[in-house]
């Protein structure tokens, strides 16, 4: 195969992706019908394993209950490129009218991970037919547990996902980007995530005699307010950060002062420094409020993701290949967001980038936000994502091999 930058190579890749679309749709719809929650993706893993073996990929053993590492080894020596797709669904009851809607009640691929897996499988299928011209190794990382911190990226890395890898590519479908387009951004793109629990310990008593107790509910309310104020008054306002509490648990009866309250929260930031400072101050401020009220606070960090930082060199490959494949296509500038993604864990160790794959199509209702029970993805995007990944892999390997 000629260098990917030669114009005649890109039309061939696009043609292969279009021919493959029907198979990809079948893969994607099967995965959509049977979503599984984080770290419970047993049937998903079995299905993916069956497909990649049929594509003549080598399955690498890992010491995890779910997840898959599969390799395509070219017939010429060269470096290793990785492609990552996440596997888990969400605890969402699907409310679409799709004929292939979820058959697992209360579970749904409402974030597009079924599309990610189908794109990765399609990329493997095309590259496997180009193996004789492949100067290196392509490793496909099908990762469990992206939706549940501490996430599945680090366990996959511990099981060899990044061994000898020089560059990694990932994707995420985006319902704000039109089908046919992609989104790119250099540097910080998604926020760090620190999920934490705060347990407020007070002293129980009768509701009519509060002076004899330490009301953990009242103290918890002060803690929430104080932490929100630290975001607005103690953190540099030009540094994007946010702290949100999603759950509060405490108390046993209306006439009993609660002795314990649990606050479940998440802290987000766009830089490592801001994320660490935010966590430190949550502990300091919350503890100070509790001490002032004769209460005590424990803080437990449940899981953490670093900020997702795309490497410009990897983005240049994606941009060059997209513009070659789709000369009339549009590349949007992905805005920075405080949503988290444990693809960031891979980017801490090797160069790489995650691009946004546009799936928005109002005519078919593919315009609902991530995690919505009405979330729909435009399957026409499969061709775009697959051809772009194939071209990007070949571009990198051809350049390095020379």
pLDDT digits (tens, 9 = 90+) for 20-37: 999 999 999 999 999 999
Domain boundaries of the chain, sorted by first residue: 9-188+307-401, 192-305
Q: How many CA atoms lie within 13 A of 188 on its CB side?
A: 17
**Catalytic-labelled residue, pool 147, 341, 379, 396:** 379
Q: Which of 247, 239, 248 has its CA nearest to residue 268?
A: 239
DSSP string, 54-117: HTTPEEEP-SSSS-EEEEEE-SEEEEEEEEEEE---BS-------TT--SSTT-B--SSHHHHH
Task: Please give the CATH architecture assigned to the domain spanning 192-305.
Answer: 2-Layer Sandwich (3.30)
Query: pTM score, two decimals?
Result: 0.93
Residues 308, 238: contact at Cβ < 8 Å? Answer: no
Q: Is the pLDDT of residue 3 over 70?
A: no
pLDDT digits (tens, 9 = 90+) for 91-100: 999 999 999 9
Active-site residue flag, 47 = no
Q: What is the pLDDT of residue 375?
A: 98
pLDDT digits (tens, 9 = 90+) for 286-310: 999 999 999 999 999 998 999 999 9
Task: Give me the chain's average pLDDT, please.
Answer: 95
Q: Is the pLDDT of residue 401 over 80?
A: no
User: Across the strands, what pairs with 243?
Assistant: 267
Q: Is the pLDDT of residue 133 over 90?
A: no
| Matching fold, domains 9-188+307-401 and 192-305 | no
Q: Is CATH 3.40.50.300 correct for 9-188+307-401?
A: no
What secondary structure letter does DSSP report for 248? E
C-alpha distances (whole Å) from 261 to each of 85, 108, 191, 247, 302 are 38, 31, 28, 10, 17
Q: Is the pLDDT of residue 8 over 60?
A: no
pLDDT digits (tens, 9 = 90+) for 206-263: 999 999 999 999 999 999 999 999 999 988 888 899 999 999 999 999 999 999 999 9
pLDDT digits (tens, 9 = 90+) for 33-90: 999 999 999 999 999 999 999 999 999 999 999 999 999 999 899 999 999 999 999 9
Q: What is the pLDDT of residue 6?
A: 46
Lowest mean per-residue pLDDT among 184-193, 229-238, 263-272, 337-346: 229-238
Q: What is the pLDDT of residue 399?
A: 81
**Catalytic-labelled residue, pool 47, 305, 322, 396:** 305
Q: What is the pLDDT of residue 147?
A: 94
Active-site residue flag, 34 = no
């Amino acid at each position: 195969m000629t260098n990917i930058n030669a114009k005649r190579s890109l039309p061939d890749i696009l043609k292969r992706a279009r021919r493959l679309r029907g198979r990809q749709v079948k893969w994607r719809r099967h995965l959509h019908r049977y979503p599984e929650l984080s770290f419970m993706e047993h049937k998903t893993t079995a299905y993916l394993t069956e497909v990649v073996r049929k594509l003549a990929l080598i399955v690498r053993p890992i010491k995890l209950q779910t997840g898959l590492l599969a390799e395509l080894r070219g017939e010429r020596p060269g470096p290793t490129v990785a492609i990552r797709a996440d596997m888990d669904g969400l605890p969402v009851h699907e409310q679409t009218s799709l004929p292939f809607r979820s058959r697992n009640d209360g579970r749904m691929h409402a974030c597009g991970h079924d599309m990610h897996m189908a794109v990765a499988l399609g990329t493997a299928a095309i590259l496997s037919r180009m193996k004789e011209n492949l100067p290196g190794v392509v490793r496909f990382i099908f990762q469990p547990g992206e939706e549940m911190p501490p996430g599945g990226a680090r366990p996959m890395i511990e099981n060899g996902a990044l061994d000898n890898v020089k560059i990694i590519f990932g994707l995420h479908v985006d319902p704000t980007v039109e089908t046919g387009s992609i989104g790119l951004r250099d540097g910080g793109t998604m926020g760090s995530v620190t999920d934490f629990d705060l347990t407020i310990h007070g002293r129980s008593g009768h509701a009519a005699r509060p002076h004899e107790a330490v009301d953990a509910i009242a103290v918890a309310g002060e803690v929430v307010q104080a932490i929100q104020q630290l975001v607005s008054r103690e953190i540099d306002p030009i540094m994007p950060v946010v702290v949100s509490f999603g759950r509060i648990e405490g108390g046993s009866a209306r006439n009993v002062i609660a002795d314990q309250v649990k606050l479940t929260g998440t802290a987000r930031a766009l830089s490592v420094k801001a994320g660490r400072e935010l966590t430190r101050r949550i502990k300091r401020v919350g503890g100070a409020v509790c001490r002032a009220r004769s209460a005590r606070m424990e803080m437990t960090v449940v899981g953490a993701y670093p900020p997702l930082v795309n490497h410009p060199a990897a983005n240049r490959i994606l941009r060059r290949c997209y513009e070659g494949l789709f000369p009339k296509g549009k590349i949007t500038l992905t805005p920075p967001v405080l949503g988290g993604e444990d693809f960031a864990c891979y980017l801490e160790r090797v160069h790489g980038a995650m691009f946004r794959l546009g799936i928005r199509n109002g005519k078919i209702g593919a315009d609902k936000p991530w995690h919505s029970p009405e979330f729909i993805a435009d399957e026409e995007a499969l061709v775009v994502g697959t051809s772009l990944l194939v071209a990007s892999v070949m571009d990198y390997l051809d350049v390095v091999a020379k």
